[in-house]
Amino acid sequence: MDLDFTSEQDMLRRSARGLCERLFPLATVRRLERERAGHSPEFWAALAEGGFLALRIAEADGGAGLGCLDAIIVAEELGRALVMSSYLDSAVLAARLIALAGTKTQRGIWLPRIAEGAIIAPAWFEAGEAFPGSTTARRSGDGLIVSGGKCLVPFVASAHRLAVLARHPEIDGELVIALVDPTAPEVSVVPQSNHASFPLAKVSFADVAVPADQCIGLTCGIRKAWDRAFTEMLVAVAAEAVGGAERALEITVAYAKERKQFDRPIGGFQAIAHALADRAVEIEGAKGLVYQAAWTLDQGLDAMRLASIAKLEACAAFRRMGAAAVQTHGGLGFTREGDAQLYFRRAKHLQLMYGDPTWLEDRIADEILGVGEGT
């Protein structure tokens, strides 16, 4: 396994970091947390113009045709800046789903649009329901009628389509994706509060008619494509957590060197120095897992277990680093004026999204024991 970055990947990282520093300072994070849409059109347009949204899209479909490792380099930089965007949801998960399961026509229509900035928001999670939940899709002519509801759907106000996951109407155990217009009269949206003040919503579908050309997997389902795309999404979320954890460590170390007690920097006290050293080791280990999982995916190998472990460990490392940042900053760390709480809240958000720790542990155990049934 070769994890040395190429000169092109180093350039990709520098470009992504420069874009985030220029267009997404923490002041922007604070502003978007107060806005219902939670979306920066200027930053999203810059991502599209810079080719970042096209990384995982094949050249034949208007993309760059790069690998998972390239995509997580960008995810890591977005995590450092606490960027609020649909990069993971649209440019990774939705784009991969369409690439793997869509027809040639669907790929030709939607993948170039995603590369140019169209947002496809995945709607897959249902609280308290066995995967994929109770959302139904029944045949209506050549298309589908979708009924049910989803929770924690991101960026609905900015989305061009919702990629609604439902049980296949004819093939037991299989799944379909319906690309639903979020502005349709049969769609209702209720914002949901969350740790990171992210634009999440509960979305209900009251017999929404979806034409055949907007339905993915009608003939044979998308289960295998979903498992592959979701695995890649787990790695990307883990990369974002690693980036956030590294930046939280940097600002905390800088504060520990400057803040003095008893005429010496607080970083000179073992209680703080050793705690931050532990966090640094933990973050580095999580980063190695993320890169290994991405490399494994790029080799075309099964990375489900690695991706689940990477997501579990990276988000746990970020969560503990966020807590350490707040504690090291003292009273300032708990205030809205301080930056530490931004990382603390985002860490908990990422830990719970796309598989919480309990779900991931069950998934890993099932895979090890050979009794799992996929996502």
pLDDT in tens, 136-154: 999 999 999 999 999 999 9
Q: How many Å apart are CA 303 and CA 69, to the nearest integer?
A: 13
For residues 62-67, average pLDDT: 94
Stated pTM of the model: 0.95
Question: What is the fold, at CATH topology level, of the domain defined by 223-369?
Answer: Butyryl-CoA Dehydrogenase, subunit A; domain 3 (1.20.140)
**Percent of the chain at pLDDT above 70?**
97
CATH superfamily of 7-119: Acyl-CoA dehydrogenase/oxidase, N-terminal domain (1.10.540.10)
Q: Is the pLDDT of residue 3 over 80?
A: no
- Of the candidate ranges 72-81, 89-98, 276-285, 359-368, the one whose mean pLDDT is the lowest: 359-368
As to burial, measured by CB atoms within 10 angstroms (0-12 exposed, 13-18 middle, 19+ buried), residue 369 is exposed
Residue 8: per-residue pLDDT: 95
Band (335; pLDDT cuts 50, 70, 90): confident
Structure tokens at 151: 């929770």
Beta bridge partners of 200: 154, 192
Is residue 78 over pLDDT 90? Answer: yes
8 A C-beta contact, residue 280 and residue 204? no
The mean per-residue pLDDT over the stretch 341-354 comes to 96
**pLDDT of amino acid 235:** 98
> What is the structure's pLDDT at 268?
86
Contact call for residues 286 and 238 (beta carbons, < 8 A): yes
Sequence spans of domains, the chain: 7-119, 121-216, 223-369
Measured between alpha carbons, how far apart are the two ends of the chain, in Å?
A: 27
Report pLDDT for 1: 67
Residue 121's pLDDT is 98
Q: Which amino acid is at 291?
A: Y
% of residues, the chain, pLDDT over 90: 86
Q: How many CB atoms lie within 10 A of CB 207?
A: 12
CATH 2.40.50.140 fits 121-216, yes or no: no
Residue bearing the bigger pLDDT, 374 or 56: 56
Lowest mean pLDDT among 30-39, 120-129, 285-294: 120-129
The whole-number pLDDT of residue 130 equals: 60
DSSP secondary structure letter of residue 63: S
